[in-house]
Amino acid sequence: MENMKPDSKVMLRMTNIRKSFTGCEVLKGIDIEVKKGELLAIIGPSGSGKSTLLRCINMLETIDDGSIAIEGEYLAKEGAYVSGDKARKLLGRTGMVFQQFNLFPHMTVMENLLEAPMQVKEMKREEVLPLAKELLSKVGLSDRENYYPSQLSGGQQQRVAIARALAMKPDIMLFDEPTSALDPELTGEVLKTMRELAAERMTMVVVTHEMAFAREAASKVIFMADGNIVEQGSPNEFFDHPKEERTKAFLRNML
């Protein structure tokens, strides 16, 4: 168990994050910290701001106030973002997996994986190919490299999406309800891939409704409601001994 303990290196720190959409405050001063190798699970009812919080990490949404630091370097400090180039460099350390997969439909599985390394990092096809093949075999889709996304099941598409994000060699992987758009029998294969990733000590932030997954795979669980963190703790504390009434009510409904 010793090697399962996270390093002390802080990979992601968000402090006092505030965000409003047309007058409605959806994040009311959130603080989170994720250490290297940790899997942070963010759960909560819909509309609690958990997806917005995740999307603030990689600038799909912009914060109104607060600071974001990735591996100790500021992406945003007290509400102000660093310049474009610096921001792009920092964002390159994160990878994102979406609820709707968002694979590029006009490209084959392999082309989806090669696209960003070849275009953004300007690597040659031969340079990326070994990594891409390795990632596809890791997610169990080596035999599908020439398929188009529309020819794959939702679960397979999501595994390709994970491989595509990993092809950019991110330090932190962000998952925005990765199994919410999947049939129940397909969520298992995606969660298995995520568990394997966690076992390799990838730093992960996962917004999810899968309580069983959060309980067993997370190093820390955060429960959000109405733009606030209501409760956080280790999966055991959180699921077995929730302190807040709001948490207890939520868990009663979910389990």
Q: Would you say 55 or 220 has its CB closer to other proteins? A: 55
Q: Would you say 129 or 254 has its CB closer to other proteins? A: 129
Cβ 105 to other proteins shortest distance, Å = 6
Cβ 240 to other proteins shortest distance, Å = 35
Determine the Cα–Cα distance for residues 233 and 241; give it in Å rounded to an integer. Answer: 10
Task: Find out whether 65 and 227 touch, Cβ atoms under 8 Å.
Answer: no
Q: Would you say 174 or 230 has its CB closer to other proteins? A: 174
Q: Would you say 51 or 187 has its CB closer to other proteins? A: 51
Q: Would you say 97 or 214 has its CB closer to other proteins? A: 97
In the complex, which residues of this chain contact other proteins (CB under 8 A)? 58-60, 88, 91-92, 94-96, 98, 100, 102-107, 115-116, 119-121, 148-151, 161, 164-165, 168
Cβ 6 to other proteins shortest distance, Å = 24
Cβ 251 to other proteins shortest distance, Å = 31
Q: Measured between alpha carbons, how far is residue 232 from residues 91, 162, 188, 248 in Å?
A: 26, 27, 25, 13
Q: How many CB atoms lie within 10 A of CB 87?
A: 17
Q: Where are the alpha helices (DSSP H) in the chain?
A: 50-57, 84-91, 109-119, 125-138, 154-166, 184-199, 211-217, 235-240, 245-254
Cβ 107 to other proteins shortest distance, Å = 8
| Sheet of strand 39-43: strand arrangement | 94-97, 172-176, 203-207, 39-43, 220-225, 228-233
